[in-house]
Structure 1
Amino acid sequence: MIGYLTRRLATMLALLFGVSVLVFWLFALMPGDHFSGNRSLTPQRVAELRALYGLDQPVVVRYGIWLRNLFRGDLGYSLEYNRPVAEVLAPLLWNSFLVAFAAFVLTWLIALVTGVLAATRQYSWFDRLVTVALFASLSVPSFFLGLMMIKILAIDLQLFPAGGMLDTGSLTSGPARVVEIVHHLALPVAILTFLGAGSLTRYFRSGMLEVLRADFIRTARAKGLGERAVVFSHALRNALLPAITLLAFELPALFSGAIITEQIFNWPGVGRLQIESVQTRDYDVLMTLTMLLALLTVVGSFLADVLYAVADPRIRLVAKVRHG
């Protein structure tokens, strides 16, 4: 087991290194930089600033400097905000994590429950309702759904705030502040959950339908096992395997999908920062955010492998045979 984890860690580091080389090279190919796009600067001043921040160096040299600083914990310097990237990202990253984590938990919980119930009640009214909701979540754009929720729930019914993380001029603290943040968090999380649960429910439902038709399920029922034991102890564990594959893409997908949602609801997260960094060509911020998404993908893939072994004991047996 230790040898397997060591090899996986080495593979993860190699993948991240390859991604960093590719991403840095692609950003270097983009025309212009933060200073050349500023019309208020003279060409001489642009040349001075590019030399000051090392932007006139060859790509290989710049990448080496960036990688060395990264190992030291230095994520770079934001030319737009005139602050280290870590200071710019720290509060916004936490805000985006709140949205992504809440949506992630609700998405998997809702998809698991609805997928299992729809599969065990195939062609029932519940199954048909889930199918309609599934196609709706896959076809409705997030910006349209967000605007409709603001119009109906925030403006007409005034059940939720239209945007932001806190009320205007809010001075709350302690539990009252937590309640206020959760109140503002409801609509962004609801959109991400609705959009994400649709595709995941489809995987759970199709996986359960396939497993419920398997021979070992018929054998379990023939032995007199209750339907609850058959569904949750035998069928669900095997049906989880295809859905676990999606875990590697869920976290980065939620952070990426939150970009539009954060813009709609004026949520102070990394989504808006990412768009502003593209517009201002703040490449250090973009590099950090891109590497963060790559890290989440690699870590998600690793967690998926671990969950595979938890859900299917045969995978643990094969690993022991291969690695002694």
Structure 2
Amino acid sequence: MLKYTLKRFGQMILMMFLLSILVFFLFALMPGDFFSGNRKLTPTRLAELRALYGLDKPPLQRYFIWLGNVLHGDFGWSLKYNEPVTDLLKTYMFNSFIVALAAMVIAWTIAVIVGVYSATHQYAFVDKLVTVIVFASLSFPSFFIGLLAIKFFAVDLKWLPVGGMIDTGSNSTGLAYVLEVGRHMILPVLILAFFSAGGLTRYFRSGMLDVLRLDFVRCARARGIKEHAVVYRHALRNALLPAITLLGFELPGLFSGAIITEQIFGWPGIGPIQLDALNAHDYEVLMTCTLLLSFLTILGNFLADVMYSVADPRVRLAQKAEA
């Protein structure tokens, strides 16, 4: 187990190094930069600014300078926002994180409960209703459902705020601030959870149906074990094993943010920052976001492989045979 973990960790480090090369040169070779789009700059001033920020150096030299700074925790300077990239992303990334985490917990809870119930009541009315709702969540665009929710819950019923993170002009602190932020989170969290739960529900329903047809489930029923115990103690445990791999891919989503949803609800997350950086050719911000998401994707796969080997004895036997 330890040998396999160290091997996977070494592969993760190598993959991150190769990804850093790919990410940097993809952005370095893109046409234009932050200054080239400013028509007010004279050619002389444009050359001075490019030299000041090191944009006139060869891409290979710039890569090693950038890599050395990254290894020291310096991800560059945002020309769009005129502040260090680390300071810029710190707050906005946390805002995206709390919304994505809440949405993920709700979506996975709903998906497990509804998926198991739908699988154990196959072709019943509830199963058909769940199928309709799931396909609706996969068919409708997020901006349409988001705007519809704002129109109904915020404008017509006035139950929830239209958008933002806090009320306009609010000076609340402590518990009042937490409750205010929580009230503004309700709509974006529910919209994200709705779209995430749809595909997850079908995934858990399909996995549960496959497990319920296996021989060990039939044997458990033949021994007279109660149906509740068969479903939740035997079948569900095995049906959730593949979800460990799926959970590893959820890690980048906790930090990447939902660009469209955050734009609709005016939530100050990482999504609008990425859009602004893209429009302004602020490549330092874009490279940091891309590199961070790449790292989280690799880390999620690494953790999923380790957890899968811990949860499933068959995987441990396969790893020993491979070693």
Q: TM-score under structure 1 normalisation?
A: 0.96
Q: Is the 8 A contact 2:97 2:257 kept in 1?
A: no
Name the aligned partner's letter for residue 37 of structure 2: G
| Residues 49-84 of structure 1, C-alpha deviations (whole Å, 9 max, x = no match) | 001111011111111111000000101111111111
Aligned to 1:184: 184
Aligned to 2:2: 2
Aligned to 2:270: 270
Aligned mates of 1:10, 1:128 — CA distance in 2: 47
Alignment of 1:9-48 (within 5 A): 9-48=9-48
Q: Is the 8 A contact 1:146 1:191 kept in 2?
A: yes
Aligned to 1:155: 155
| Residues 266-301 of structure 1, C-alpha deviations (whole Å, 9 max, x = no match) | 101110000000000111100110111112211211
Aligned to 1:97: 97
Aligned to 2:146: 146
Which shifted more, 309-318 or 95-104?
309-318
Deviation at 1:249, TM superposition (A): 2.2
Name the aligned partner's letter for residue 119 of structure 2: A
SS state at 2:167 partner? coil
Root-mean-square deviation (CA, aligned residues, Å) is: 1.4
Aligned to 1:202: 202
Q: Is the 8 A contact 2:96 2:256 kept in 1?
A: no
Name the aligned partner's letter for residue 174 of structure 2: G
Aligned to 2:137: 137
Kindly, what percent of the aligned residue pairs are identical? 61
Aligned mates of 1:235, 1:288 — CA distance in 2: 42
Q: Is the 8 A contact 1:100 1:251 kept in 2?
A: no
Alignment of 1:19-98 (within 5 A): 19-98=19-98
Deviation at 1:251, TM superposition (A): 3.0
Structure 1 gap segments, 5+ residues each: none
Aligned mates of 1:231, 1:305 — CA distance in 2: 26
Aligned mates of 1:184, 1:313 — CA distance in 2: 44
Which shifted more, 286-295 or 302-311?
302-311
Name the aligned partner's letter for residue 64 of structure 2: G
Name the aligned partner's letter for residue 45 of structure 2: R
| Residues 115-142 of structure 1, C-alpha deviations (whole Å, 9 max, x = no match) | 1111011111211111111101110101
Name the aligned partner's letter for residue 180 of structure 1: E
SS state at 1:246 partner? helix
Aligned mates of 2:91, 2:216 — CA distance in 1: 51
Aligned mates of 2:105, 2:22 — CA distance in 1: 32
Deviation at 1:17, TM superposition (A): 1.3
Q: Is the 8 A contact 1:92 1:268 kept in 2?
A: yes
Number of residue pairs the alignment of both structures matches: 323
Name the aligned partner's letter for residue 19 of structure 1: L
SS state at 2:170 partner? coil
Deviation at 1:253, TM superposition (A): 4.0
Aligned to 1:238: 238
Aligned to 2:286: 286
Aligned mates of 1:257, 1:81 — CA distance in 2: 19
Deviation at 1:305, TM superposition (A): 1.6
Q: Is the 8 A contact 2:244 2:307 kept in 1?
A: yes
Alignment of 1:293-308 (within 5 A): 293-308=293-308
Name the aligned partner's letter for residue 24 of structure 2: F
Deviation at 1:313, TM superposition (A): 2.5
| Residues 226-281 of structure 1, C-alpha deviations (whole Å, 9 max, x = no match) | 11221122111221233332223223246556111110011011100000000001
Q: Is the 8 A contact 1:262 1:271 kept in 2?
A: yes
Q: Is the 8 A contact 1:237 1:312 kept in 2?
A: no
Q: Is the 8 A contact 1:309 1:316 kept in 2?
A: yes
Aligned mates of 1:257, 1:166 — CA distance in 2: 18
Aligned mates of 1:257, 1:53 — CA distance in 2: 29
Aligned to 1:214: 214
Deviation at 1:89, TM superposition (A): 0.8
Q: TM-score under structure 2 normalisation?
A: 0.96
Aligned mates of 2:175, 2:213 — CA distance in 1: 50
Structure 2 gap segments, 5+ residues each: none
SS state at 1:48 partner? helix
